[in-house]
């Protein structure tokens, strides 16, 4: 255990791509737990599209990270010392923390990870902390998939999208994914069992959707917004659902982003568009973790980590999310 802590602090609001001057990586004094807190060391840092939202001052679902504040993140770590009666050194915890090697925590934001059910810590953290419940509640609760329906998901080779398509298959639906490379598309169809995949960077998305969804789209699980949303809106079936999980195509935008021009399809086809974030479902996590754990144990769901090394690489690694360079759940191994 070193004497000094290492902390990423937000210095500026990003404009466009997250520049190297947006955060600083500082050496600081070790934090000391007060009564009711524990000190933990970061093992894994989850890197998520929403990190860019928290850095900005756009309208968002939590207060943005303040300038000078440690960057917020979804974290997994091991308790070093504790002044909280329910936590002891060695406990593995996860939840909402910061981009800091050592940090203080307490419930409700940090809780013990588990039960692991035989899974490795990184897998359990990667699947159960954010990704799995996001896919589960967005598709099942808002999407209401029925056997025989067609489910389209964008960012399908991403962490959430890859789980959405696999749950869609488990529910008897046709699963169609959009991804940004031939390799990702092949992975979706050959390894994950998607019925079709579309390379949105090289194909005419509208024409490809027509081929891949001969009966139209019943559920479009939206991770990206933008042009892909517009293309899907145009092919939605009567009473279709659009769970809105993310709008990553526009997080890095510097100019005002136009809205979807096919918005009138919401009226014409009587669609339901509904935004959600997984924190809204915090009290129902056990339901999702139970179902996902069972599918994982039976080999019915495959989950891939894109594990990178070193807290010092947090910013350069995060940037991969917005260019589509990652494949699977992007995470940093810290210690």
Binding interface with a second copy (CB under 8 A): 58-61, 225, 230, 234, 244-247, 250, 256-277, 280
How far apart (Å, rounded) are the C-alpha atoms in residues 59 and 78? 33
Burial letters for 194-219: b for 16+ Cβ neighbours within 10 Å, e otherwise? bbbbbbbeebebeebbeebbeebbbb
Q: Name the minimum Å distance from CB 265 to a second copy.
A: 6
Residue with smaller CB distance to a second copy, 81 or 206? 206
Residue in the structure block whose two tokens are 């059910």: 117
Residue with smaller CB distance to a second copy, 77 or 133? 133
3-state secondary structure of 183: helix
Residue with smaller CB distance to a second copy, 106 or 235? 235
Residue with smaller CB distance to a second copy, 37 or 235? 235
3-state secondary structure of 316: helix
3-state secondary structure of 28: strand
Q: Name the minimum Å distance from CB 100 to a second copy.
A: 26
Cα 199 from chain centre: 20
Q: Name the minimum Å distance from CB 216 to a second copy.
A: 12
196 near 217, Cβ under 8 Å?
A: no
Residue with smaller CB distance to a second copy, 274 or 312? 274
Q: Name the minimum Å distance from CB 260 to a second copy.
A: 4
| CB < 8 Å & 24+ apart, contacts of 142-147 | 142/241, 142/243, 142/274, 142/276, 143/219, 143/221, 143/241, 143/243, 144/219, 144/241, 145/171, 145/172, 145/173, 145/218, 145/219, 146/171, 146/172, 146/173, 146/218, 147/171, 147/172, 147/173
How far apart (Å, rounded) are the C-alpha atoms in residues 298 and 295? 5
The residue among 310, 319, 248 whose CA lies nearest residue 99 is 310
Quickly count: other Cβ atoms within 10 Å of residue 67's Cβ.
Answer: 12
Q: Name the minimum Å distance from CB 306 to a second copy.
A: 24
Residue with smaller CB distance to a second copy, 89 or 268? 268
Q: Name the minimum Å distance from CB 276 to a second copy.
A: 5
Residue with smaller CB distance to a second copy, 2 or 254? 254
Q: Name the minimum Å distance from CB 231 to a second copy.
A: 13
């Amino acid at each position: 255990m070193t004497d000094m802590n290492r902390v990423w602090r937000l210095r500026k609001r990003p404009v466009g791509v997250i520049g190297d001057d947006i955060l600083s990586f500082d050496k600081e004094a070790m934090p000391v737990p007060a009564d009711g807190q524990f000190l933990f060391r970061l093992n894994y840092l989850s890197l998520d599209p929403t990190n860019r939202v928290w850095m900005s001052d756009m309208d968002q679902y939590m207060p943005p990270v303040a300038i000078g504040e440690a960057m917020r993140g979804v974290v997994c770590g091991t308790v070093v010392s504790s002044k909280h009666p329910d936590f002891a050194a060695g406990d593995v915890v996860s939840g909402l923390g910061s981009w800091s090697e050592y940090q203080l925590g307490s419930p409700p934001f940090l809780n013990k990870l588990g039960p692991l059910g035989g899974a490795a810590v990184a897998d359990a953290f990667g699947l159960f902390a954010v990704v799995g419940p996001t896919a589960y509640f967005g598709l099942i609760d808002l999407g209401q998939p029925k056997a025989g329906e067609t489910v389209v998901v964008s960012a399908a080779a991403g962490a959430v999208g890859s789980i959405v398509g696999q749950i869609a298959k488990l529910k008897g639906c046709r699963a169609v994914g959009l991804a940004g490379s031939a390799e990702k598309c092949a992975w979706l169809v050959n390894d994950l069992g998607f019925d079709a995949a579309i390379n949105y960077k090289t194909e005419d998305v509208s024409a490809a959707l027509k081929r891949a969804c001969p009966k139209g789209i019943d559920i479009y699980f939206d991770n990206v917004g933008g042009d892909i949303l517009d293309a899907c809106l145009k092919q939605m079936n009567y009473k279709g659902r659009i769970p809105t999980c993310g709008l990553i195509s526009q997080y890095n935008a510097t100019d005002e982003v136009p809205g979807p021009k096919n918005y009138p399809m919401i009226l014409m086809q009587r669609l339901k568009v509904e935004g959600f974030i997984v924190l809204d479902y915090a009290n129902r996590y056990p339901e999702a973790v139970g179902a996902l754990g069972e599918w994982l144990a039976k080999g019915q769901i495959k989950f891939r980590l894109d594990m990178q090394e070193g807290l010092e690489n947090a910013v350069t690694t995060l940037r991969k999310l917005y260019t589509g360079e990652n494949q699977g759940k992007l995470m940093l191994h810290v210690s």
